[in-house]
Structure 1
Amino acid sequence: MITNAYSVLMSVYAKENPEWLRESMDSMLVQTTPPAEMVVVKDGALSRALEEVLDEYSEMYPGLFNFVAYSENRGLGYALHEGVLACRNPIIARMDTDDIAVPERMEMQLRAMREYDLDMVGSQVIEFDGELGTCLTITDLPEEHEEILKYSKRRNPFRHPPITFKRAAVLAAGNYSSDFLYFEDWDLFNRMLSVGCKSKNLHDPLVYMRVNGDFYARRGGMRYLAHAYRFKKAQLERGWFTLRDFCLSFTPQAVVCLMPNSIRSYLYTNYLRKAPDK
């Protein structure tokens, strides 16, 4: 039986915005089904402003926050690997430190996990720039399990911030890994799907995901392309991708990576996303 007891898992590093961190944590703390634990991984030494925010919230919510800390920045894969191990509850809700969850996110996801016996559940997200009212696009992700399986052979079938999953299922698939920079989430999702985890994306967007010019710039250039090639080649070698899957996934990504950022941004916002309802 799916319990309502869940841990929120976040990773924070030195360059995070303290005010965005506040907004993100607030959005999870006021959930209609509130968390039993907030696990925050300090990925290396933090700024004084970030430490002050975390200290403030820890004092405001005694016993709720569980901090994992180490002195050197190790990257997202390592941070989340350690964070999963630190979570004390059977359900883990991922959240990024610059995004905002709708108040009903966890109520809806936990209900879906019970109703459909899911191991992992995501949702559509609304992407915004700057203020919450500046909504740019909404994702168009597959929603049913069979569609998710097919989609995972081409593109990432989930957005990372709204994913909620069973801790045991994550561990059974090998937990987060540091092997694939920029693709830590897709790597885990594919491994979970490959061992039979049942999945779904909810139709309603449950997280507002902050994007800006840097968001699209990070998805371009030779360095990013090299990491994409390495990740997708590994999917081919382990049998999750066929050769056809690899070619149909990597070739268009290579083209997009090598575009100027302005064109890449236009492509993402106008062709790879939907416009939000007015």
Structure 2
Amino acid sequence: MIQKSDIHLQKNYSYTLADSYCSIVLTKPNFYNKKRLNTKSVYQEKNYLSSANKKFTVCIVVTLNDNASHLKEALFSIVEQSLKPSELLLIDNGGLSPDHYEIIHSIHKRIILKIIKTDVLLTVGEARNIALHQANYPIIALADPDDINELDRFEKLIPLLNSEIRMIGSWIREFNVNPGDKQILRHVPCDFEEIISYAKYRSPINNPTICYFKNDALQVGGYNPKLKYGEDYSLVMSFIRHGKIVSNISDVTVNFRVGNRSRLCQKRSGISILAREIELHRIFLRQGDISLWNFIIIVMVKVFARLLPKKLFIILYTKVLRKYE
């Protein structure tokens, strides 16, 4: 089921797949940067905390070059969850092709689905801010368009959000073609004090596992729209800075697609990602999230790791930075 929205549909855009579908086209908006609480969402959160029926929105941002077959696997891993999402919100950030829409058509009767199409290419942070304001429920669960969720992901994570724990994530399993083919896990700390220490150097929550209260994200200002890297990491730091407790469970709930070694090196090494990481931590330094000494250590480590020759980088990544099942 595709849910209609009260946002005005631009006349120069037609949704071609089926008459029952509804799309929303947005120019680059400015409303999503405002720090404001949604009073309806506050009321929903109170009901959420006192109810066994946990209602939540799953948000996926689809961008250029996101593979249609990968999206199919991702979507089916969501609609087949043991704890069903209340709605699925897809942000079409220049990424949905006719092949993608065929896949969406195959699942649209199994879940309430809303598609928001941007008519300009946004940063992931900007796209997530749109989703933040368009979500109809007090909890938002992030998902990536190429990852495969364990079918009990939401059953394990969503009920743990409460008046104290405001954001939660889990470990992930990295894979190339089929889940488990690499047998590599990314562990993150579960204790809040350990999370605070860990966050000074690396993101303490695996991005595709994140679930959080919508109004908390609005209170801390949402996602940084200017970032081209690390927007989820930045949001986690904002939660911590504002005294909101974040947590992890020591269980795998998402299979994270890293691809082959060539794709891994392309995404995780080189000057481009190094520059973005340093800029991100420079922002953390200005905001008081890390000390100057933390920043110096981070820069030295990142320069060493990101500029290694490909073979040495693969060894560092797979043998040192990751754990095996």
Structure 1 length as normaliser, TM-score?
A: 0.93
Equivalent residue, structure 2, for 1:175: 222
Alpha-carbon separation, structure 1, partners of 2:94 and 2:73: 22
Equivalent residue, structure 2, for 1:103: 151
Measured against aligned partners, the alpha-carbon deviations of 1:219-264 in whole angstroms (never above 9, x if no partner) come to 2221221111111111111111101111122210111111122321
Deviation at 1:32, TM superposition (A): 1.2
Alignment of 1:57-68 (within 5 A): 57-58=107-108, 60-61=109-110, 64-68=112-116
Q: How many aligned residue pairs are there?
A: 273
Report whether the alignment pairs 1:268 with 2:317.
yes
Report whether the alignment pairs 1:72 with 2:120.
yes
Distance of aligned partners of 1:198 and 1:134 in 2 relative to their CA distance in 1, 3 Å threshold: same
Contact 2:79 2:107 in 1 (8 A): no
Alpha-carbon separation, structure 2, partners of 1:267 and 1:44: 34
Moved over 4 A (4+): none
Query: Residue 160 of structure 1 is aligned with which of 175, 185, 207?
Result: 207
Alpha-carbon separation, structure 1, partners of 2:152 and 2:277: 34
Equivalent residue, structure 2, for 1:94: 142
Letter of the structure 2 residue corresponding to residue 111 of structure 1: P
**Amino-acid identity (%):** 26
Measured against aligned partners, the alpha-carbon deviations of 1:21-65 in whole angstroms (never above 9, x if no partner) come to 11111111111110000000000253221122223322x236x00
Equivalent residue, structure 2, for 1:258: 307
Letter of the structure 2 residue corresponding to residue 272 of structure 1: L
Contact 1:45 1:71 in 2 (8 A): no
Deviation at 1:209, TM superposition (A): 0.4
Deviation at 1:133, TM superposition (A): 3.9
Report whether the alignment pairs 1:240 with 2:289.
yes
Alpha-carbon separation, structure 1, partners of 2:155 and 2:164: 15
Report whether the alignment pairs 1:48 with 2:84.
no
Contact 1:92 1:166 in 2 (8 A): yes
Gaps of 5+ in 1: none
Equivalent residue, structure 2, for 1:17: 67
Measured against aligned partners, the alpha-carbon deviations of 1:90-118 in whole angstroms (never above 9, x if no partner) come to 0011000111111111111123224x831
* More divergent stretch after superposition (178-187 vs 203-212): 178-187
Structure 2 length as normaliser, TM-score?
A: 0.80
Distance of aligned partners of 1:80 and 1:41 in 2 relative to their CA distance in 1, 3 Å threshold: same
Alpha-carbon separation, structure 2, partners of 1:190 and 1:102: 26
Alpha-carbon separation, structure 1, partners of 2:265 and 2:134: 32
Three-state SS of the structure 1 residue aligned to 2:209 is coil
Measured against aligned partners, the alpha-carbon deviations of 1:130-161 in whole angstroms (never above 9, x if no partner) come to 12241331012111111101110111111110
